[in-house]
Each structure stands twice: as C-alpha cells, then as structure tokens.
Amino acid sequence: MRHNLLLNRSRGTASLQPLVLLAIIVVMTGAQAVLVPGSLTVEQMLIISRQASALGIITLGQAAVILVGGIDLSVGATVMMVNIFCISAMQGSDANGPLGLLVCLFIGLAIGTANAFGVLFLKIAPFVMTLCTTTICEGICYVYTQGSPTGSAAPFIRALGTGRLFGIPFSTLIWLALAAAMWVVLRFTALGRRLYAVGGSPKAARLSGIANVRVVAGAYIFCALMSAVAGLILTGYHNIASLTLAGDYSMNSLAAALIGGNAIEGGRGGVWGVVLGSFFMMLLMAILTMLGISQVGKLIIQGCIILAVVAAQQLWKKD
C-alpha cells in the first residue's frame, strides 16, 4: 500500500507540473509581445515548436532514464554519430534511405546497450559511464571524418526535417506522437508502473518481483533510440554532416526533464511536463536571442534555472 501511495504522489506531482509550466509559458509569451513588439505570431510559435522537437524527443528518453534514477550525458554524441554515419550511408539518395535508417537504429541500440552494460554490470556510475560513451563516440566521429565531414541526407529524410502537414512541422507531429505513446505506457501499463517503482525504491521493486536490470536497461536503450530519432530529424533539417550538431543537447535535455517535473533522484515525473519543459527551453532561448543576450549570458541563465529547479525539488521532498 505504501508503494501505491508513493506512486500516486509521484504521478500527482507530475500532473501539476504541466499546469505550472503552461502558466509560465503564457506569461513569457506575453512578456515577449511587450518587449519585442510584432514578434509573437503563430508562425513564430510553429518555428519554435520545430526547434523544440529534436530537444523534446531527446528529453523523452532522458526522462525515462532519470525516472529509474540514472542520467544520460551521451545523447548529444548519439545525435552526432547518427548524423555523420547516416549521411555517409545515404549519400543524398533515397535508394540508400533504408540503409541510413538501419544505421540509425543500430547506433541507437549499440549506444543504449553499451550504457546499460556499463551501469548495470560494470557498476560504473551513470554520469561517468555516459560521459565515457560521449568521449568514445565523438572520437570515432572525428577519426572517421578526419575532421571534415561531407555528404547530404536523402530527400525523404530532408522532407522529414523540413516538411509540414496542415502547416504543422512533421518533426513537431512526430514529437507529440512519441510523447503520447510514452504517456500511455507510463500511465496505463505494467511497464510504466515498473519504471516508477524501480526509480522510487530499487530494493522494494526487486523484492516485489520486478526485474530491475531489464527495466533500467530498457530505459537506457529507449533514451539512445530517441536520441537517434532526433539525430535523424536534425540531419534532415540541416542536410549536412556536422561535428557540431550535438550542440548542448545533453545539458538542455537534462534541464528540460528537470523543469518538466522529473526528480533527479528518480521515481517521480511525467510526460507532458517534459514536453512543455522542452518548449519552455526553446522559447526562453528565442526570447533571449531577440533581446540580444550573448551565448555566455544564455548559459548563465540556463545554469541558474537548473539550480533553482533542483533546489525547489529538494525543498518539496522535505515538505
């Protein structure tokens, strides 16, 4: 019964977070309209949603890992590897598109499995293991490209990254579809209950018959696959192979997950808060850009936001 009460509290907290974030986003858009007249349009919101889609998809995976008490810093490196090797496989031809998709799937599965193996069987701390994975993946990309990547995406991948349906970017629709699927899993399936249980109390979950190893491994593999999907979308949008495409996705996905209500120690969080957290991050960056804030200033603000969110979560736990 105690486990059920904790689970209900976790989900209850997660259900409140989207409402708070939504209110903050409304206030931010209002402030944007005042500070930058004429900038608040439907098209601008759609552009931000497209920019947020890759981060949002990555954050869905990051949220799953955080939910079981882990962290994945290799999401950016996964995006980079997918970009480099998928473009190398496709060579700008739809005929090679299926090969590119297989490469994307393989990279996601390989990185997720490697992270899970290191964390679960080698007992390496998630932070250290995924940081090592990042270094290895980035090194492979630099060696493979000799520092000068070339090539372009297949046309149907470009359409995936730049196309629209009824005015809404394909990438945004994919993001929301994946979020809806994850919400169903977390809310209505045994797997969702196991994720919360393992993150909330690994020992209690194990004693209740849950295979903790499978659940945690599944979370890391899911995270890597989501990063691979995001890498494919970004490849289609930019249509180039780039060693800088990974950007700040590791830090931003962590920030979006925490802002969205996921507790850093695991066992608490939801999906729609994470979706709004990702949109919030992109909206904030867009507004700061419009206001002429430098990249250094953006990083400082981002760090302060993460600190404030984690501190608020710790205060919530004490209450």
Give 80-108 as a DSSP string. Answer: HHHHHHHHHHHTT-GGGHHHHHHHHHHHH
**pLDDT at residue 3 greater than cutoff 50:** no
Residue 239 sits at φ, ψ, to 5 deg, of 60, 30
Helix (H) or strand (E) holding 30: helix 2-35
The label of the residue with tokens 């993460």 reads: 306
Band (pLDDT 50/70/90 cuts) for residue 62 is very high
Give the pLDDT score at 13.
Answer: 47
CB 70 within 8 A of CB 126: yes
d(CA 158, CA 235): 7
Tell me, yes or no, whether 262 lies in a domain: yes
Q: Tokens representing 5?
A: 């009460």
The tens digit of pLDDT for each residue in 73-117 reads 999 999 999 999 999 988 888 888 889 899 999 999 999 999 999
Helix (H) or strand (E) holding 142: helix 126-145
Across 14-22, average pLDDT: 70
Q: What is the pTM of this model?
A: 0.89
The tens digit of pLDDT for each residue in 263-275 reads 888 878 889 999 9
Across 229-253, average pLDDT: 88
Find the CATH number of the domain harbouring 221. Answer: 1.10.3470
Tell me, yes or no, whether 253 lies in a domain: yes
Q: How many CA atoms are closer than 13 Å to the CA of 22, on its beta-carbon side?
A: 7
Q: Show the domain range for 236.
A: 45-314
The tens digit of pLDDT for each residue in 122-153 reads 999 999 999 999 999 999 999 998 877 878 88
Helix, strand or coil, per DSSP, at residue 134? helix
Tell me, yes or no, whether 31 lies in a domain: no
Tell me, yes or no, whether 11 lies in a domain: no
Q: Tokens representing 112?
A: 């997720």
User: Per DSSP, what are the bridge partners of residue 165?
Assistant: 168
Tell me, yes or no, whether 150 lies in a domain: yes
Report how many domains make up the chain: 1
Across 37-58, average pLDDT: 89
